[in-house]
Structure 1
Amino acid sequence: MEIGKERFKYTKIEKSWILQDWANSAYSIMITTAVFPLFFKAVSEGAGVSAVNSTAYLGYANAIGTLAVSLLAPILGAIADYKGYRNPMFSLATGLGIIATFSFAFIPDENWLLLLIIYAVSSIGFGAANIFYDASLIDSTTLNRMDRVSSAGYGWGYIGSSIPFVIFIFFQLTQILPISQIALIKGGFAATALWWFIFTIPYWKNVEQKTYIKKQPHVVKNSFLRLWETIRNIRQYRNVFLFLIAYFFYIDGVGTIFKMATAIGADVGLMANDLIVVMLICQFVAFPFSILYGVLAGRFGNKKMIYVGIVTYTFICIFALSLDSLLTFIILAVLVGTAQGGVQSISRSLFGQLIPKENANEFFGFYNIFGKFAAVVGPFLVGIISQVTGNSLNGVFALIVLFVIGGAVLYFVEEPIRKIN
């Protein structure tokens, strides 16, 4: 049994794997959550698009971008299971995301449609890269340390993403740079891409593909055949399949709230600077709670900790109906921070413990298609209900059904037996 400081020591490979979460999480807050949604709403509404429609269009773009990854995820994962394929595919997807993010700085201010299209492209690169990144958890640590390392990835990712975010907020609030607000925002997008690239370097150097299928002729064709065999024999993986169904529902709600938070806050009249500061508070809250989830999962089990997160999000959906001030938005953001990283990291590690290691990329392809396709449903649900009712808070409340269904199905998933550490 590990005690004291030993509990939080990591190997060189584990640190490199964790640092990749530090690298790409800058995209999550600067592009997915905070700055880009507000920038897009300002640009689109300046071009005559209504507030409700701009929120809906952003939801549709999130849905379209993730749908592309959803459809490609299983076959990409199946190909990446062959020796020597995973790391190059990871690099290609990461490069696409970084280049698209960097290009935000050069899109004309008035072209909100092109901005939305490039945003969808960047989300495809980000999502595809995470298929291979998630699967590499299997090769980066041991079964008994998986909860801890996965949680550390999310936890340090929140801190890593907060650094460029804090720098951006500092320059925005102080206005000490002799540049326009638009130039500052575009500079923030370019800095996000650079941050993503620099801190991915340790992963490129140290994380290798250790579990794999030996390379065969006609890799793409054989990957489709293997994928089809897995689908045909899905009954052999009943536990995995049940988990994926549960994950599909509850992670849909988690991802939708994460992506649409600032847009919805803007709809109820909150100021852009206030929204950005509150999202930063959320990041700092998420760091210790992500680590805590990993520690508690080792003691109480993955399922119980996922249920803690589901209950928290269910309350968030209900409490969101009272969102009418900065104070209530802060409360909601703090609640999100306590659960978001924990639910995601423990879900990733539990899935890694359920699947056969030699097919990790293929199975994480399914993991991503269930997660990403779920991310299509949630934003559409928020968008449609917001437009029908004329109130985006009703869209958030509707997400409660996803958490209830996900929690019910998760009950039937059997956790693997492992040594207590």
Structure 2
Amino acid sequence: MSKVKLWYLYDFANSFASSVVIFYFPLLLSRGGASDIWIGISTAISTIILLIFYPALGHKADQSQRTRMHYIILSSVFMLVTLYAMGFITSAYAEHYTFLLLAVLCLLYIIFQISFQGSYVFYSAFMQNFRNEGHNKDRVSSLGTGIGQLGNAVSIGIMGAFVVNGSIVVFGVSGNSLALILGATIFIVLAIPFLMQKPDDTEVVGREGLGKGFSFSEFIKKVFQNKKLLYYLLGYMFVADSLATLQIYLTLYLKNVFGFTEKMSSLGGVISLGMLFLTCMLAGSLMHKVTDKKKMLILGGVIYIGAYLLFGLAPTIPVYAYLILAFAGIAFGLFFPLARSFYSDIVPKESQAEYFSSFVIFERAATVIGPIIWVIIFQLLSAYPIEYRYRANVMALALTAMLGL
């Protein structure tokens, strides 16, 4: 199997790990009586850790594909272990969510987020190598995103249809807890071919000057001196804020506004991710014809904001929620693959992993800002019904995304 196909396979595989966390971990915390603030604070902590460590790790990874692969393998192992731990702990103590237990679960969530986002830094940097091999980088980015979202759809479809309803029991574990364990297992099985490949360091190009060592202050200085890069990252941060925050609270939003059950949330996820996959496949085949990526990004962003406005204003009828989730999938498929590819174009070819760490950090900074705003609005509107508090937050996310355009 070619290296680019193995890269697609890893994108598909890690979706099984991330999707079960996004869809089912917040519900497990909610079942234990935890408020929204727990997961918001945990996400913020993981972002701060990424900010401190990952630019330096990205710099080191740019010196050797072998080092880059070692980091991906290590991240994958941590993802596997944390998901298994979360699954077994939430199953064993389903009726006894103490403060200490919640703290342990959030610590595991932090480790998972650091590992998952870290692996994204390192494997996204491979896009430049694929370009050097003659692949169209825009097409690779779109297809990679589409295949990754197909993994999300398959994962949520399997878990929603057969697992979260509790009909399957494995070693005494069932429901959402089992979804975490199965997601981890499928992830590592599918990821093994990519993780076992032997990297060829001769493919790393343009490494002049990379051996000088990493300076965090110099890296920040380089980012802020490059105005085009800085403005792009700031704009992307605001758009990503809306996505990252809604992902954290999506299942709770559907439950409290549209009355969704866990099975209905899974179906909604499959619909949205299915449309995202189809959009990415279509965009991947047409991306080479795009002459102005910036205008295409803005168009995708406008459609994306429209999905949020519809989400915040739609009547509490489940069919409307399904239609909006499908529309949101189309918007995501237009915007985010192109955003990743465009960023790869404007950063130095020899420092892809180092600069992709800043891409992820600005993206994850949104997970600090967004949840804080969400909690503040939620508390300020405490006198209103919970449905209106959730709707107000989604409208605030739409306004935040507008700032990014």
Shared fold (TM-score, shorter chain, > 0.5)? yes
Q: Does 1:238 align with 2:227?
A: yes
Q: Does 1:262 align with 2:251?
A: yes
The partner residue of 1:12 within 2, 5, 14 is 2
The CA deviation at 1:398 is: 0.8
Q: Against the structure 1 CA distance between its residues 345 and 180, is the aligned structure 2 distance closer, same or farther, given a 3 Å change threshold?
A: same
Give 3-state SS (helix, strand or coil) of 2:204's partner.
coil
Please name the residue that 2:363 is paired with.
Answer: 371
Counterpart AA for 1:69:
L
The partner residue of 2:61 within 73, 80, 88 is 80
Q: Does 1:198 align with 2:189?
A: yes
The CA deviation at 1:144 is: 6.2
Counterpart AA for 1:402:
T
Q: Does 1:360 align with 2:349?
A: no
Give 3-state SS (helix, strand or coil) of 1:245's partner.
helix
- On the 8 A contact 1:383/1:392 being kept in 2, the answer is no
Please name the residue that 2:78 is paired with.
Answer: 96
Worse-superposed segment, 362-371 or 101-110: 101-110
The partner residue of 1:146 within 137, 145, 152 is 137
Q: Against the structure 1 CA distance between its residues 346 and 207, is the aligned structure 2 distance closer, same or farther, given a 3 Å change threshold?
A: farther
Give 3-state SS (helix, strand or coil) of 1:224's partner.
coil
Please name the residue that 1:3 is paired with.
Answer: none
- On the 8 A contact 1:13/1:207 being kept in 2, the answer is no
Give 3-state SS (helix, strand or coil) of 2:116's partner.
helix
The partner residue of 1:343 within 335, 338, 357 is 335
Q: Against the structure 1 CA distance between its residues 282 and 139, is the aligned structure 2 distance closer, same or farther, given a 3 Å change threshold?
A: same
Worse-superposed segment, 22-31 or 173-182: 173-182
Q: Does 1:406 align with 2:404?
A: yes
Q: Against the structure 1 CA distance between its residues 215 and 195, is the aligned structure 2 distance closer, same or farther, given a 3 Å change threshold?
A: farther
Give 3-state SS (helix, strand or coil) of 1:243's partner.
helix
Give 3-state SS (helix, strand or coil) of 1:200's partner.
helix
- On the 8 A contact 1:322/1:328 being kept in 2, the answer is no
Counterpart AA for 1:254:
L
The 1-side partners of 2:227 and 2:164 are apart by: 53
**% identity of equivalent residues:** 24
- On the 8 A contact 1:17/1:137 being kept in 2, the answer is no
The partner residue of 2:25 within 33, 36, 41 is 36
TM-score (norm: length of structure 1):
0.83
* Gap regions ≥5 residues in structure 2: 383-388
Please name the residue that 1:64 is paired with.
Answer: 45
- On the 8 A contact 2:164/2:176 being kept in 1, the answer is no
The partner residue of 1:132 within 114, 119, 122 is 122
Q: Against the structure 1 CA distance between its residues 173 and 194, is the aligned structure 2 distance closer, same or farther, given a 3 Å change threshold?
A: closer
Aligned runs of 1:277-356 on 2, under 5 Å? 277-300=267-290, 301-323=292-314, 324-356=316-348
- On the 8 A contact 1:159/1:287 being kept in 2, the answer is yes
Counterpart AA for 2:145:
Y
Counterpart AA for 1:165:
I
The 1-side partners of 2:117 and 2:234 are apart by: 19
Worse-superposed segment, 195-204 or 139-148: 139-148
- On the 8 A contact 1:17/1:140 being kept in 2, the answer is no
Counterpart AA for 1:231:
I
Q: Does 1:252 align with 2:254?
A: no
Q: Against the structure 1 CA distance between its residues 145 and 116, is the aligned structure 2 distance closer, same or farther, given a 3 Å change threshold?
A: same
The 2-side partners of 1:298 and 1:56 are apart by: 43
The 2-side partners of 1:57 and 1:231 are apart by: 30
The CA deviation at 1:311 is: 1.0
- On the 8 A contact 2:12/2:147 being kept in 1, the answer is yes
Counterpart AA for 2:230:
F
The CA deviation at 1:146 is: 0.7
Counterpart AA for 1:393:
R
The partner residue of 2:265 within 275, 299, 320 is 275
- On the 8 A contact 2:237/2:404 being kept in 1, the answer is yes
The CA deviation at 1:318 is: 1.9
The CA deviation at 1:147 is: 0.9
- On the 8 A contact 2:12/2:150 being kept in 1, the answer is yes
TM-score (norm: length of structure 2):
0.86
Give 3-state SS (helix, strand or coil) of 2:214's partner.
helix
The CA deviation at 1:281 is: 1.2
The 2-side partners of 1:257 and 1:208 are apart by: 39
- On the 8 A contact 1:293/1:305 being kept in 2, the answer is no
The CA deviation at 1:364 is: 0.9
Q: Against the structure 1 CA distance between its residues 214 and 154, is the aligned structure 2 distance closer, same or farther, given a 3 Å change threshold?
A: closer
- On the 8 A contact 1:22/1:160 being kept in 2, the answer is yes
Give 3-state SS (helix, strand or coil) of 2:226's partner.
helix
Please name the residue that 2:386 is paired with.
Answer: none
Give 3-state SS (helix, strand or coil) of 2:174's partner.
helix
Worse-superposed segment, 200-209 or 271-280: 200-209
Counterpart AA for 1:68:
I
The 1-side partners of 2:214 and 2:306 are apart by: 42
Please name the residue that 1:156 is paired with.
Answer: 147
